[in-house]
Amino acid sequence: MIATAPSQTAADLHSGFPPICGLEAEIAAAVNHNDPVFLPTTNLQLDSIKSGFACALHMHQPTIPAGHNGELICNLQHMFEHQGEGDNHNASVFAWCYSRMGDFIPELIADGGNPRIMLDYSGNLLWGLQQMGRHDILDNLKKLACDSQYQPYVEWLGTMWSHAVAPSTPIPDLKLQIQAWQHHFASIFGEEALKRVKGFSPPEMHLPNHPDTLYEYIKALKECGYRWLMVQEHSVERPDGSGLWHDDKYVPNRLVARNSKGEVISITALIKTQGSDTKLVAQMQPYYEAKSRGRQKIGEVEVPGCVTQIADGENGGVMMNEFPGGFKPVWSIIKDNPDVVGFNGTEYIELVEASGVNPDDYPICQAIGQHKIWQKVDPDNATSAAVEKAIQELNETDHQFHMDGASWTDDLSWVKGYENVLEPMNQLSAKFHEKFDRRVQEDPSVTKTPEYQEALLYVLLVETSCFRYWGQGTWTDYARELYRRGEEALNR
């Protein structure tokens, strides 16, 4: 059994580290099951539904070395302590946004509504709320994660613990990031709540498109018990390189990855449509788009389509101010017009497959740009050397080609211009694995030691995307300081 809060959390916080490792076998045993999650409790019947929509809220605040004497604190705490800087005056509103679904969902249900929401909270943010003693927020979230009367309406999504973008995260750390989040979530909300987390929300909606990275990413997700992930529509393509057909964006897809050894793996994907504008969720655009959609066929089975969308849950005026007024009324409208409904991702997939759809009939997609590689390399006789040669040739001859991955925005690189962060990040990761991999293989209990926990914490923190997203200066300085501390921990 996995120990849950408050005992484990209190001990971990007292030690100065979040609960991010040490229970790998127990976590794996808990999450690797095929039991239905929503099917036993859902009050939706696909036969009577024309179309639907699924909305997710993404919540994150980075951990920064900016507390008194440089201790690790949550950026939200830093905002509260420096109200006069930038938009830090929004700190209290942000805190309310992290908590408010714990009020909205019970209110809507009490009024006879049938709401749905998916929630994605980074490990950084969960730790930060604990560090700040914001038990009011955590208790509100526990309602949604642990109280059986709210479980049919709320789905928690897994993510990378420290909001690392997958394409530029060292491959051996992908699984460590995923497992760290599972450890932390279970420590707060318990094993039963973790067992229900079957969908994955990639930070920045960033999908790796290097064949080996994508393969290892999907492999890690599946080994950690995930059934599906959300992907941005322009981060994937059909096997022939064409874009997704319009109707295919509204049903589950099968994301296929082939590595440079010719090995193939796949996972179900829900396609996030449109761009990154938070107005889409704040003003409930997915519902209004779903009203114009209808039923469509997967194989020989007809099902309602589903408009899938995600937005920051707190960031920007529309989410802070307009979201409550956009979100709440929709569920009253649906009460009187139940042919268009809200779904949660796992609920939708389970209902679709229970209706007789075979997942093999889902439309197939792959990461953007991969068809160009497989035009040059015979997939059945692929080698690492042949794939890397093809990538090099394409980089030299095709200005549209890159292996940086794709995210919610295609005009922002998480690699170019950030060598001063990426190089130390890769060095710290390499040192960590050089020191611990063999030891953990010989004795898995090594992951329970403070020495391992501290080193892992800094490896994960250096990989936080914010240290690149916010540009050069203070944020890259934070990354260098985290690297220095991580190197110091590994050299002890």
Q: Over the stretch 349-403, which tens digit does the pLDDT of each residue have?
A: 999 999 999 999 999 999 999 999 999 999 888 998 999 999 999 999 998 888 7
CA atoms within 13 A on the CB side of 59: 28
Place of tokens 């992930």: 229
pLDDT band at 187 (very low <50, low <70, confident <90, very high): very high
Residue 6 has pLDDT above 50, yes or no: no
Query: What would the two tokens of residue 143 be?
Result: 């309602």
H/E stretch holding 332 reads helix 323-336
3-state SS assignment for residue 228: strand
At 400, phi and psi to the nearest 5? -90, -10
At 9, phi and psi to the nearest 5? -60, -45
Q: What is the pTM of this model?
A: 0.93
Q: Over the stretch 87-137, which tens digit does the pLDDT of each residue have?
A: 899 999 999 999 999 999 999 999 999 999 999 999 999 999 999 999 999
Decide: 2 and 195 in contact? Cβ < 8 Å.
Answer: no
Which amino acid is located at 415 in the chain? V
pLDDT band at 471 (very low <50, low <70, confident <90, very high): low
CA distances from 76 to 6, 69, 81 (A): 22, 17, 9
Question: What was the pLDDT predicted at 411?
Answer: 43
Within 8 A by CB and 6+ apart from 468, the residues are 414, 418, 421, 475, 476
Residue 45 has pLDDT above 60, yes or no: yes
Residue 49 has pLDDT above 80, yes or no: yes
Q: Over the stretch 67-88, which tens digit does the pLDDT of each residue have?
A: 999 999 999 999 999 998 888 9
